[in-house]
Structure 1
Amino acid sequence: MDQSYTVFVYGTLKRNQPNHHYLSSAKFITEATCFEKFPLVIASKIKGELFTVDEETLAKLDELENHPTLYVRQLQSFETTDGKIVEAWVYLLQEYKPEMLELEFFESYFSEGKHGKQYVASDDDLTKPEDILQVLRIK
């Protein structure tokens, strides 16, 4: 039997978001909230979704998130909507520029949310925090 992993997604990998197709073979578990706060581009304490994925899907997610160069996959604790604490993998920006903490914080990301930062697929190789700031048009 293939090994399975629990993964927390909070951005474009969520259901009805542009990169959700990467999780086509994954099983949705529940919505959850990050137990710990993190300095993220779009939020600090974030809401997202938990999925069970196989090794092949996890490898695809590693590639999408440019793990371990740009984002690092880490085990963290999450609180499910029914109050259970679940350990799951999450991708977190390895290094970030202090200017990122000056951005408005949101607890949940949707591609067409009120933040005005609609997801645009890019063939660019985003490997550094400076690249992300450029995409966000922050100088």
Structure 2
Amino acid sequence: MDQSSLYTVFVYGTLKRNQPNHHYLSTAEFVSEATCCQKFPLVIASKYNIPFAIDKPGIGYKIKGELFSIDQQTLAKLDELENHPTLYERQVHSFETADGKMIEAWIYLLREYKPEMLELEFYESYSSEGSHGKQYVPRYSRDTELKPANI
């Protein structure tokens, strides 16, 4: 990859290694496990059991996830997957890597959400096969497209 056009992205849900959408990062380079320096509510919601990090800083947990180095083409694919800027908004935040370094990276946060989503259980980390019992439903198995109004 051309180093001049690389971006660092923090993933916390289905894009992480060994998760259902990790194939979107097939050309990405794993950087480190990391923790968000700011608290955000991470919930599992909708009939598709989607992990959402809600753009409501200061509540929830410092989310644990993974940092990847990606190119412009992969960033565009992620923007499409995350429906940026309509559903999620890509923002720059600070993250602490596994070895204690601070890194600025992109994170996708849910901008518009139903207030009752903040009443759901908050998670510090996500796995589709987690003890929560809410397995993610991939896009190809869904009957409708996800829009802000039906989250």
TM over 0.5: yes
Q: Which residue of 1 aligns with 2:28?
A: 26
Distance in 1 separating the partners of 2:39 and 2:150: 23
- Provide the rounded CA distance (Å) in 2 between the counterparts of 1:13 and 1:126: 17
1-structure distance, mates of 2:73, 2:17: 19
In 2: Cα distance, 1:84 partner to 1:22 partner: 26
Deviation at 1:10, TM superposition (A): 0.2
Question: Unaligned 5+ residue runs, structure 1?
Answer: 133-139
Matches within 5 A, 1:69-108: 69-108=86-125
Q: Contact between 2:89 and 2:108, CA under 8 Å: does it hold in 1?
A: yes
Asked if the contact 2:8/2:70 (under 8 Å) is kept, the reply is: yes
Identity of aligned residues (%): 73
Match status 1:118 vs 2:120: no
Report the residue type matching 2:33 in the other structure. E
Task: Give the partner amino acid of 1:14.
Answer: K
Asked whether the 8 Å contact 1:40–1:100 carries over to 2, the reply is no
SS of residue paired to 2:42: coil
Contact 1:40 1:101 in 2 (8 A): no
CA deviation after TM superposition for structure 1 residue 41, in Å: 2.2
Q: CA RMSD in A?
A: 1.4
SS of corresponding position for 1:86: strand
Q: Distance in 2 between matches of 1:131 and 1:109?
A: 22
| Alignment-mate amino acid for residue 90 of structure 1 | I
How many residues are treated as equivalent by the alignment?
131
2:8·2:105 contact (CA, 8 Å) conserved in 1? yes
Following superposition, the deviation at residue 95 of structure 1 comes to 1.4
Give 1:113 deviation, angstroms: 0.5
The separation in 2 between residues aligned to 1:48 and 1:34, in whole angstroms, is 8
**Segments of 4+ moved more than 6 angstroms:** none
Which residues in structure 2 correspond to 1:61-76 (within 5 Å)? 61-76=78-93
Distance 1:13 1:94 in 2: 19
- Separation (CA, whole Å) in 1 of partners of 2:42 and 2:122: 8
Gaps of 5+ in 2: 45-52, 54-59
TM-score normalised per structure 1: 0.88
